[in-house]
């Protein structure tokens, strides 16, 4: 098999992995927002966690199942993953997330229109983040802010950046710890995806009220880009408060680099300890 065909297979695996994650994950958000099919954030969190787990099991043998640009870049820095290859991975992840959002829109566009009509929401106008939130993420979580009657400014852009940065730092820390063959206390390769999924579910349950908890630039930007073209326009990009780049792209990348560095330099077993 040539290097080119191998890279193609790996990129397809990353696309499929991201598709699985986003289709199931934001599919649960669609159900919660448009149909009331979830009774709380924890139910959505569990769906996201299971989606991560099955995506890793399905594609990990081919590409390593990064399915997250922040993780891919952390592997570039600490595990020697080729930067040029990482760019192809990241493009595939974003495309997979975009296609998952488009598929969900094809299935649930009627439910979205009914939700907007019943709520007096005009797509693309101020306030339509209440429907756009099923694609890209917003701070604070629009549904929580409405239900709790939070005043404007309850969550600042800095707080949102910290939430996404800390969340992704913890995710990267655990990804490195759980997949490190030198970590004698780890669960082993076959169980690592299950525990990574549990970490994602726990993080979402904590951070989702603040930022909807993307902790994955592809998970946010792919669906957000679709929403931009599907009628939400500036509500999707740059968003009603702006900051989507710093909160949902920059902060997760910096957070993942910090979390993976913390593991590598502070915790990772040395050869004599392994």
pLDDT digits (tens, 9 = 90+) for 104-131: 999 999 999 999 999 999 999 999 999 9
The sign one gets for the Cα dihedral 35, 40, 46, 52 is: positive
What tens digit of pLDDT does each residue of 123-180 get? 999 999 999 999 999 999 999 999 999 998 999 999 999 999 999 999 999 999 999 9
**pTM of the entire predicted model:** 0.95
Residue 117 inside a domain? The answer is yes
Position 185 in a domain: yes
pLDDT recorded at residue 222? 99
Residue 274: which residues within 8 A CB-CB, separation 6 or more? 182, 183, 184
d(CA 162, CA 255) in angstroms, rounded, equals 9
pLDDT band at 187 (very low <50, low <70, confident <90, very high): confident
Instruction: Select from 220, 231, 236 the least CA-distant residue to 112.
Output: 231
Q: Is residue 274 part of a domain?
A: no
Residue 261: pLDDT band (50, 70, 90) is very high
- With 60 as the cut, is the pLDDT of residue 272 above it? no
Residue 226, C-beta contacts closer than 8 angstroms, at least 6 positions apart: 98, 101, 102, 105, 135
Q: Is residue 190 part of a domain?
A: yes
pLDDT of residue 185: 83
Number of domains in the chain: 1
Q: What is the 3-state secondary structure (H, E, C) of the chain?
A: CCHHHHHHHHHHHHHHHHHHHHHHHHHHHHHHHHHCCCCCHHHHHHHHHHHHHHHHHHHHHHHCCCCCHHHHHHHHHHHCCCHHHHHHHHHHHHHHHHHHHHHHHHHHHHHHHHHHHHHCCCCCCCCCHHHHCCCCCCCCCHHHHHHHCCCCCCCCHHHHHHHHHHHHHHHHHHHHHHCCCCCCCCCCCCCHHHHHHHHHHHHHHHHHHHHCCCCCHHHHHHHHHHHHHHHHHHHCCCCCCCCHHHHHHHHHHHHHHHHHHHHHHHHCCCCCCC
In a domain, 21, yes or no: yes
In a domain, 141, yes or no: yes
- Give the mean pLDDT of 46-63: 98
How confident is the model over 62-86, as pLDDT tens digits? 999 999 999 999 999 999 999 999 9
| CATH number, domain containing residue 194 | 1.20.1080.10
Query: CB of 215 within 8 A of CB of 164?
Result: yes
The phi-psi region of residue 36 (left if phi > 0; otherwise alpha if psi is between -120 and 50; otherwise beta) is left
Computed over every residue of the chain, the mean pLDDT equals: 96
pLDDT value at position 186?
Answer: 83
For residues 145 and 154, the answer to whether their CB atoms sit within 8 Å is: yes
Q: What percent of the chain has pLDDT over 90?
A: 90
Q: Which of 21-30, 62-71, 237-246 has the lowest mean pLDDT?
A: 237-246
273 domain residue, yes or no: no
Residues above pLDDT 70, as percent of the chain = 97
Least confident of 20-34, 100-114, 128-142, 178-192: 178-192
Residue 33 has pLDDT above 90, yes or no: yes
Residue 188 pLDDT level (bands cut at 50, 70, 90): confident
**Residue 272 placed within a domain:** no
Q: What is the C-alpha separation between 132 and 93, in angstroms, rounded?
A: 21
> Do 201 and 171 meet the contact criterion of CB atoms below 8 Å apart?
no
Q: Euclidean distance between the first and final Cα of the chain, in Å?
A: 34
Whole domain around residue 182: which residue ranges? 3-267
């Amino acid at each position: 098999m040539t290097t080119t065909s191998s890279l193609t297979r790996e990129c397809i695996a990353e696309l499929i992995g991201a598709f699985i994650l986003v289709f199931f994950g934001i599919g649960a958000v669609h159900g919660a927002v448009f149909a009331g099919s979830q009774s709380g954030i924890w139910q959505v969190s569990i769906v996201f966690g299971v989606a991560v787990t099955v995506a890793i099991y399905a594609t990990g043998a081919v590409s390593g199942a990064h399915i997250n640009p922040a993780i891919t870049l952390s592997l570039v820095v600490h595990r020697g993953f080729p930067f040029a290859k990482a760019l192809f991975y990241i493009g595939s992840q974003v495309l997979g997330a975009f296609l998952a959002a488009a598929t969900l829109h094809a299935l649930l566009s009627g439910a979205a229109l009914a939700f907007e009509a019943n709520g007096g929401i005009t797509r693309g106008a101020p306030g339509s983040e209440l429907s756009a939130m099923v694609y890209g993420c917003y701070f604070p979580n629009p549904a929580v802010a409405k239900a709790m009657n939070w005043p404007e400014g309850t969550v600042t852009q800095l707080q949102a950046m910290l939430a996404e940065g800390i969340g992704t730092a913890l995710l990267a820390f655990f990804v490195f710890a759980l997949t490190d063959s030198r970590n004698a206390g780890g669960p082993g390769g076959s169980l690592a995806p299950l525990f990574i999924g549990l970490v994602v579910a726990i993080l979402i349950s904590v951070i989702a009220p603040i930022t909807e908890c993307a902790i994955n630039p592809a998970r946010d930007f792919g669906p957000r880009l679709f929403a931009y073209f599907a009628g939400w326009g500036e509500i999707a990009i740059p968003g009603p408060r702006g900051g989507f780049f710093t909160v949902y792209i920059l902060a997760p990348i910096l957070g993942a680099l910090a979390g993976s560095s913390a593991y590598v330099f502070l915790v990772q077993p040395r050869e004599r300890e392994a």
